[in-house]
Amino acid sequence: MDEAPRDFGFNTRAVHAGQRPDPYTGASATPIYQTAGFVFEDTESASAYFNLQEYGNVYSRIMNPTVAAFEERLASLEGGVGAVAFASGLAAQAALFFALLEPGDRIAVAKALYGGSTAQLNHLARKLQIAVDWVDMDAPDGWRRSVTAETKVLFAETIANPGGNVLDIELAASVAHEVGAPLVVDNTFATPYLCRPLDWGADLIIHSATKFIAGNGTTIAGAVVDSGTFDWSNGRFPSVAEPSGAYHGLKFHETFGVYGLLMKLRSETLRDFGAVLAPFNAFLLLLGMESLAVRMDRHVANALAVAEWLRDQPGVSAVRHPALADSPYRPLVDRYLPDGAGSVFSFDLESGRDGGRRFIEALSLWSHLANVGDTKSLVIHPASTTHRQLSDEELVASGVAPGTVRLSVGIEDVDDLLWDLERGLRAARGSAVPA
């Protein structure tokens, strides 16, 4: 009792946060609470749960104990006050913007962005009358040029997909806070093991947990993590600060303080959207997170070895790994990503679109598929797949050329990965591949 509570380290929290042995059965692994509803103790408790006066399980479209264990673990690793899980990263993103924005609002978003996010924001802009100002986040005054007193949210990825652009988080956060707007960072490619944007001034984190968090390519999942430090009562966010019609005039920020936005996101936005994470999927994410640190070390080492090797190969015109010594992002990597810049990066083939096709068809170990952050090494040709729906202008803005190939380097033996890549490069150059 008199012993000081311990500040446990990252790896301990990756294994334990959010989950304790089940008090009733002693089960050591997190039980999968595969249930839609939860039986109320009595009518008084039921109404207390519905009125948000007491934390209680009501319905798995709003909360679920297995999902909550995942949410708490992710929040603990990111250094946030809490998290709300969603069925996918894009669901998390849409829900957060839906919760924060009103028709007519402006947001500032990094141009170098995952193609699916760009497409989603363009749709949101059209349907909800949101104006999106696309930001050149690499320019020293990029954010400052695009952000005005009207800007409600700034949004960027820690490491952009697939260009590998690294965000100057402190700079973006300071521009955001000058106009009373939150900085939202998609930390999917870095994971909290390599970078914790909240420590650098970001206010909210979005994850596609499908990637390194799940780790094994088993599960589509997303989450929003809140720092709890943004002042939602600054007059710019009526949906968080003003009375909510859904809860008899409750003011989420005033009543729940640092937990206000997350309470709203769960009990209003998630409830309305319905894009919930399934308990079994949360269980898989919990398993994945236990090994996050050891996997990331291997991912990072393999990816850097592959990038350095590729740079010396004939037929390769550019390698965009931000941790390479000559990368323009190297100073930002040294600052924000000292333990590594992830394992997803792209390179360009001199042989263009046809070379890209020949390269991918010649590979036998690497999998050609539309995911990243798996233990398995993955390869894709963005111009014909993930970024196909973007205009040429948007394609170039997000760092993609016709011959660009994106790699997600797994944790296999790196010599085997290089062996296969060499076969692909030979095919891209037009040489025969030995059987």
d(CA 308, CA 148): 41
250 touches 228 (CB < 8 A): no
Helix (H) or strand (E) holding 326: none
DSSP string, 265-286: IIIIIIHHH--PPPHHHHHHHH
**Which positions from 21 through 60 interact with another protein, judged by CB under 8 A?**
21, 23, 26, 48, 51-57
**Whose Cβ is closer to another protein: residue 250's or residue 341's?**
250
Q: How far is the CB of 173 from another protein (least distance, A)?
A: 21
Q: How far is the CB of 285 from another protein (least distance, A)?
A: 13
Query: Looking at 91-99, 112-120, 255-263, 305-313, which segment touches another protein (CB under 8 A)?
Result: 255-263
E strand intervals along 333-372 = 344-349, 367-368
State which residue, 22 or 141, has the beta carbon closest to another protein. Answer: 22
Q: Which of 105, 254, 308, 412 binds another protein (CB under 8 A)?
A: 254
Subset of 227-246 contacting another protein (CB under 8 A): 243
For residue 339, the surrounding DSSP H or E stretch is none
266 binds another protein (CB under 8 A): yes
- Is 10 one of the binding residues for another protein (CB under 8 A)? no
Rounded Cα gap, residues 314 and 328, in angstroms? 22
Tell me the closest approach of the beta carbon of residue 102 to another protein, in angstroms. 22
Nearer to another protein, 82 or 142 (CB): 82
Between residue 70 and residue 89, which ones bind another protein under the rule CB under 8 A? Answer: 71-72, 75-76, 80-85
Among residues 73 and 426, whose Cβ is nearest to another protein? 73
Nearer of residues 76 and 191 to another protein, judged by Cβ? 76
Under the binding rule (CB under 8 A), the answer on residue 279 touching another protein is no
Q: Which own/partner pairs from 261-264 qualify as long-range (CB within 8 Å, at least 24 positions apart)?
A: 261/99, 261/204, 261/226, 261/230, 261/232, 262/81, 262/82, 262/83, 262/84, 262/224, 262/226, 263/52, 264/99, 264/239, 264/240
Q: Which stretch binds another protein (CB under 8 A): 68-76, 121-129, 156-164, 309-317?
A: 68-76
Residues numbered 346 to 365 that lie near another protein (CB under 8 A) are none
Residue keyed to tokens 């390599």:
194
Six-digit token string for 386: 């993930």
Could you give the CA distance from residue 216 to residue 44 in angstroms, rounded to a whole number? Answer: 44
Question: Is the CB of 107 or the CB of 250 nearer to another protein?
Answer: 250
The HSE-up count of residue 335 (CA atoms within 13 Å, CB side) is 14
Binding residues for another protein restricted to 194-223, rule: CB under 8 A: none
User: Which CB atom, from 115 or from 228, has the smaller least distance to another protein?
Assistant: 228
* Phi, psi (rounded to 5 degrees) for 11: -70, -35
Of residues 2 and 413, the one with the C-beta less far from another protein: 2
148 in contact with another protein (CB under 8 A): no
Which of 34, 255, 364, 389 binds another protein (CB under 8 A)? It is 255
**Taking the complex as a whole, how short is the minimal distance between the CB of residue 295 and another protein, in angstroms?**
21
Convert 372-408 to b/e letters by CB count within 10 Å (16 or more is b): bbbbbbbbbbbbeebbeebeeebbebbbbbbbbbbbb
Classified as helix, coil or strand, 83 is: strand
Report d(CA 120, CA 292) in Å as an integer. Answer: 28
* Residue with Cβ nearer another protein (33 or 212): 33
We find the least distance from the C-beta atom of residue 172 to another protein, in angstroms, to be 24
Peptide bond into 243 cis (omega under 30): no
Categorise residue 130: left if φ over 0, alpha if ψ from -120 to 50, beta otherwise.
beta
434 contributes a contact to another protein by CB under 8 A: no
Query: Which residue of 63, 92, 101, 307 would you call a contact of another protein, by CB under 8 A?
Result: 63
Minimum separation from the CB atom of position 247 to another protein (A): 8
* 367 DSSP β-pair partners: 378
Site residues (CB under 8 A) for another protein? Answer: 1-2, 4-6, 8, 12-13, 16-18, 20-21, 23, 26, 48, 51-57, 63, 65, 67-69, 71-72, 75-76, 80-85, 243, 248-251, 254-259, 262-263, 266
